[in-house]
């Protein structure tokens, strides 16, 4: 019987040995390729893409060249202020600034928003603060994050600058009302606490990213600089390491660390840290075959490994979740996937206060990734370090990587536990996978990128708008299908507002309803007079269908156990509760660089920080709409408690 078992094992071992032998040959070959060969390939690739771009520019119509040149300048912006200036130019070219001024849309109930805006405006002007309190109470509509559908992502895909001006002014009135109740009335703190409880809480989720995990640093920086960073953060795998950086430092310390080259300078000054991560001196790197081997079998690049070691040495040290919370007051969570179901899968100062953050990061990365002996450690009452789990010697607990973990049920999901503990109903998800950008369905894809199908009709009767009451608008991009305007011509065009002759009654009604807005209405029931609307919507719907079908097939294969770990690492995501709203921030495909991933150079750290920050800018308008009232309440409560 034993001989039969041994004979059956022999054929199974042969393919494994053959695979390892082939991989060994490939890695050895890559190690011995001279560096000048790769430099020649880089030059050839650059020349190829240069002439491809020249050909595309030659074929495109002149109006499209103007548009794409304006879009290209967005990628060259170094600050959010510069990006906003260029985004306003793009909005003028596409006509999105006209769309913003027109408050009509089927995506939200603008009549309800107008009604509530008018009530707030009148009560604040007449100082009827009891009515304002009623609107802000748990029975009022102002403490609803998605009141009348104002948080719908589709309302933020037309314009790079934001959403409808009516929605922005409505939120501004709510913030003004909160300031007045805080400063000019005797409203107790408990009132603002009840408002916050009714509104809910926002959490930032850093999902995975073993290859592009440094992208999370840029997302945190982009939110911090705009004062939109939530106080609750959760991370898994490489995201847990980045989340620990946020949880252990104050916001001021974190801003200083991420500004300029402060982070990379600290790393460069630690020669021992560089040598322990395989860098040697600053210009020396491992051979290409060794780097690829480490990338495939361990799942992280050299620069990511360096950052993990930096965080463990300089940031977390021997701190516990409770110690960090007492210092910073931040709710910092780490997601792990243990094989022992008695161990919690969400670690924070509530569930595991005495657990060492350092050991939690290693467990979140998975057993065998950073160290072979991965275990969860904690501090006892005598401040001595000991294992967190009391396991028999015969039973070994392993911690799985996110792609190898079985999908938990909705009740066992760590993010469901997060919503239960901290009243979270809104997620900002940082998904560090640029190759999945076209397939992600919960991110913010601006539809103006497909505006080659847009052609705004020209209305002959266009009365001028008073420049003192409204910002600049523009005429349609082209007065005829064959004559296009340049950006300079658009800027010199007189400020006009297309108003169909049959809409005079509607215009009078609109001015009568909300004279406080000061926004001249364009009175399109939908500001989308498109010549090729059917073709545009057809392409968009086909893309959505293909995306959902692909993701569904991958999930089915994953449930059947037919996906290998490498593909699961690239495709399968952790899911947030369906009861919560969600917005994903994803790197752009332009950020994907295979040479950066494989070589793992030191300049990857500032590169990915800038890439993450730029990817955050288009989503800031949606984040402000969903979170501005919540963060205002947090500020009021924090200031009152500090008195």
Residue 625 is predicted with a pLDDT of 92
Distances in Å between the Cα of 573 and the Cα atoms of 207, 406, 554 are 8, 12, 11
Q: Give the span between the Cα atoms of 583 and 643, in whole angstroms.
A: 35
Task: Provide the β-strand partners of residue 78.
Answer: none
Nearest to 583 by CA among 213, 175, 202, 159: 202
Q: What are phi and psi of 81, to 5 degrees?
A: -65, -45
Nearest one of 439, 449, 431, 429 to 75, comparing CA atoms = 449
pLDDT digits 0-9 by tens, 214-236:
889 999 999 999 999 999 999 99
Residue 429's H or E segment, with its range, is: strand 424-431
pLDDT more than 70, % of the chain: 67
Least confident of 136-145, 410-419, 588-597: 588-597
10: pLDDT confidence band, cut at 50, 70 and 90? very low
Q: What is the pLDDT of residue 157?
A: 84
SS3 call for 36: helix
Catalytic residues: 237, 403
pLDDT in tens, 155-172: 888 888 999 999 999 999
Q: Reply yes or no on whether the pLDDT at 516 is more than 80.
A: no
Evaluate whether 167 touches 628 at the Cβ level (below 8 Å). no
Q: For residues 495-511, give the mean pLDDT.
A: 36
Mean pLDDT, residues 544-557: 77
What was the pLDDT predicted at 90? Answer: 86
Higher pLDDT pick, 579 / 261: 261
Evaluate if residue 146 carries a pLDDT over 60.
yes
pLDDT digits (tens, 9 = 90+) for 386-418: 988 876 655 678 888 777 776 655 557 888 899
* pLDDT tens sequence across 53-105: 778 777 766 666 777 788 888 888 999 999 999 999 888 887 788 888 888 88
- For 454-464, write each residue's pLDDT tens digit: 444 333 333 44
Contacts of 346 (CB under 8 A, 6+ apart): 234, 333, 334, 335, 414, 417, 418, 421
Q: d(Cα 371, Cα 363) in Å, to the nearest integer?
A: 10
Query: Of 332 and 401, which is predicted with more confidence?
Result: 332
pLDDT at 340: 83
> Which one is predicted more confidently, 470 or 135?
135
Tokens of residue 192, six digits: 């603002």
- Whether 191 has a pLDDT exceeding 50, the answer reads yes
Is 70 exceeded by the pLDDT of residue 359? yes
Q: How far apart are CA 149 and CA 153, in angstroms?
A: 9
If you average pLDDT over residues 261-284, what whole number do you get? 76
The confidence score (pLDDT) of residue 255 equals 92
pLDDT tier at 518, thresholds 50, 70, 90: low
Report which of 432, 360, 404 is spatially closest to residue 205, judged by C-alpha positions: 432
Contact between 396 and 376 under an 8 Å Cβ cutoff? The reply is no
**pLDDT at 325 > cutoff 90:** yes
**b (16+ CB within 10 A) / e for 119-141:** bbbebbeeeebebbbebbeeebe
The average pLDDT across 619-633 equals 93
3-state class percentages of the chain: helix first, strand second, coil last, to nearest 5: 55, 10, 35
* CB-based contact 497:519 (threshold 8 Å): no
Q: Kindly tell me if the per-residue pLDDT of 611 is higher than 70.
A: yes
Confidence of residue 306 (pLDDT cuts 50, 70, 90): confident
pLDDT value of residue 637: 94
Q: Is the pLDDT of residue 534 over 90?
A: no
Rounded to whole angstroms, the Cα distance separating 122 from 177 reads 11
Q: How confident is the model at residue 511 (pLDDT cuts 50, 70, 90)?
A: very low
| Average pLDDT of the chain, as a whole number | 75
* Residues ≥6 apart with Cβ < 8 Å to 634: 196, 231
Mean pLDDT of 508-520: 47
CA atoms within 13 A on the CB side of 602: 23
Q: Give the per-residue pLDDT at 261.
A: 85
CATH class of 203-440+573-618: alpha beta
Q: What is the pLDDT of residue 324?
A: 94
């Amino acid at each position: 019987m034993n001989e039969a078992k041994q004979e059956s094992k022999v054929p199974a071992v042969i393919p494994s040995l053959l695979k390892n032998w082939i991989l060994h040959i490939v890695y050895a070959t890559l190690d011995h390729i001279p560096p000048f060969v790769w430099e020649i390939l880089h030059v050839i690739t650059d020349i190829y893409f240069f002439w491809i771009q020249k050909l595309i520019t030659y074929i495109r119509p002149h109006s499209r060249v103007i548009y794409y040149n304006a879009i290209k300048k967005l990628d060259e912006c170094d600050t959010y202020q510069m990006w906003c200036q260029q985004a306003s130019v793009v909005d003028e070219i596409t006509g999105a600034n006209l769309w913003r001024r027109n408050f009509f849309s089927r995506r939200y109930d603008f009549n309800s928003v107008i009604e509530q805006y008018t009530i707030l405006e009148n009560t604040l002007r007449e100082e009827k603060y009891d009515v304002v309190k009623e609107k802000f109470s748990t029975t009022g509509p102002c403490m609803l994050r998605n009141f009348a559908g104002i948080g719908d992502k589709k309302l933020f895909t037309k314009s790079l600058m934001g959403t409808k001006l009516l929605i922005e002014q409505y939120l501004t009135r709510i913030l003004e009302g909160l300031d007045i109740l805080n400063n000019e009335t005797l409203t107790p703190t408990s009132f603002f606490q009840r408002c916050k409880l009714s509104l809910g809480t926002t959490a930032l989720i850093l999902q995975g990213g073993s290859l592009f995990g440094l992208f999370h640093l840029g997302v945190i920086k982009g939110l911090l600089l705009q004062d939109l960073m939530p106080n609750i953060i959760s991370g898994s795998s490489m995201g847990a390491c980045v989340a620990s950086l946020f949880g252990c430092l104050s916001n001021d310390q974190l801003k200083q660390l991420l500004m300029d080259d402060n982070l990379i300078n600290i790393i460069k000054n630690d020669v021992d840290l560089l040598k322990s991560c395989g860098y040697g001196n600053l210009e020396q790197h491992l051979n290409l075959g060794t780097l690829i081997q480490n990338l495939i079998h361990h799942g992280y690049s050299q620069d990511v490994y360096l950052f993990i070691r930096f965080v463990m040495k300089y940031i977390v040290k021997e701190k516990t979740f409770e110690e960090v919370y007492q210092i910073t007051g931040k709710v910092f969570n780490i997601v792990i996937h243990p094989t022992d179901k008695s161990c919690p899968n969400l670690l924070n100062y509530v569930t595991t206060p005495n657990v060492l953050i350092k050991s939690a990061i290693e467990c979140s990365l998975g057993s065998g990734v950073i160290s072979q002996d991965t275990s969860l450690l904690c501090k006892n009452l005598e401040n001595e370090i000991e294992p967190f789990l009391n396991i028999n010697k015969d039973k070994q607990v392993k911690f799985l990587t996110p792609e190898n973990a079985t999908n938990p049920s909705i009740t066992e999901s760590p993010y469901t536990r997060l919503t239960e503990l901290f009243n979270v109903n809104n997620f900002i998800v940082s998904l560090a996978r640029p190759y999945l950008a076209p397939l992600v369905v919960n991110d913010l894809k601006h539809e103006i990128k497909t505006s080659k199908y847009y052609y705004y009709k020209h209305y002959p009767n266009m009365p001028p708008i008073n420049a003192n009451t409204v910002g600049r608008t523009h005429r349609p991009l082209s007065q005829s299908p064959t004559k296009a305007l340049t950006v300079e011509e658009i800027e010199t065009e007189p400020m006009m507002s297309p108003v169909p002759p049959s809409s005079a009654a509607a215009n009078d009604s609109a001015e009568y309803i909300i004279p406080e807005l000061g926004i001249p209405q364009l009175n399109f029931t939908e500001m989308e007079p498109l010549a090729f609307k059917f073709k545009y919507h057809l392409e968009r719907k086909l893309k959505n269908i293909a995306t959902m079908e692909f993701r569904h097939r991958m999930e089915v294969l994953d449930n059947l156990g037919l996906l290998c770990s490498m593909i699961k690492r690239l495709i399968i995501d952790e899911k947030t509760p369906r009861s919560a709203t969600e917005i994903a921030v994803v790197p752009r495909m332009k950020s994907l660089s295979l040479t950066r991933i494989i070589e793992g150079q030191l300049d990857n750290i500032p590169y990915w920080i800038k890439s993450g920050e730029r990817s955050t800018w288009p989503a800031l308008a949606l984040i402000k709409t969903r979170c501005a009232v919540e963060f205002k309440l947090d500020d009021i409560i924090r200031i009152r408690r500090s008195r």
